[in-house]
Amino acid sequence: MSEIDRERERELRHAIVEVGRWMWERNHIAGTDGNISARLDQDHLLTTPSGIAKGRMNTSDLVITDLSGRVMEGNGRPSSELKVHLATYRLRSDVGSVVHAHPRTAVALTLAGVSLAPVVIPETVLTLGIIAAADYETPGTEALVSVMEESLLRHDAIIMDRHGSITLGTDPYHAYNRLESLEHAAQILFMARALGNVEPLPETEVAHLFELAGHTDQNGE
pLDDT for position 195: 97
Beta-carbon contacts of residue 144 (< 8 Å; ≥ 6 apart): 83, 84, 134, 137, 138, 160
Examine residue 221 and state whether it is found in any structural domain, yes or no. Answer: no
Under-50 pLDDT residues of the chain: 216-217, 219-221
Number of domains in the chain: 1
Examine residue 21 and state whether it is found in any structural domain, yes or no. Answer: yes
Examine residue 129 and state whether it is found in any structural domain, yes or no. Answer: yes
pTM for the model stands at 0.94
Examine residue 217 and state whether it is found in any structural domain, yes or no. Answer: no
Examine residue 220 and state whether it is found in any structural domain, yes or no. Answer: no
The span from the CA of 107 to the CA of 27, in Å, is 13
Give the domain range for residue 31.
6-212
Alpha-carbon distances of 132 from 62, 150, 167, rounded to whole Å: 29, 10, 10
The span from the CA of 91 to the CA of 151, in Å, is 11
Nearest 5 degrees, angle CA 85-CA 88-CA 91?
A: 155
Of 23, 15, 17, the closest CA to residue 102 belongs to 23
The answer to whether the CB of 40 falls within 8 A of the CB of 46 is: yes
The span from the CA of 80 to the CA of 26, in Å, is 24
Examine residue 47 and state whether it is found in any structural domain, yes or no. Answer: yes
Examine residue 219 and state whether it is found in any structural domain, yes or no. Answer: no
Examine residue 208 and state whether it is found in any structural domain, yes or no. Answer: yes
User: Can you give the length of the chain in residues?
Assistant: 221
pLDDT in tens, 111-131: 999 999 999 999 999 899 999
pLDDT for position 215: 63
The span from the CA of 113 to the CA of 193, in Å, is 13
Strand partners, 166: 100, 158
CATH of the domain at 200: 3.40.225.10
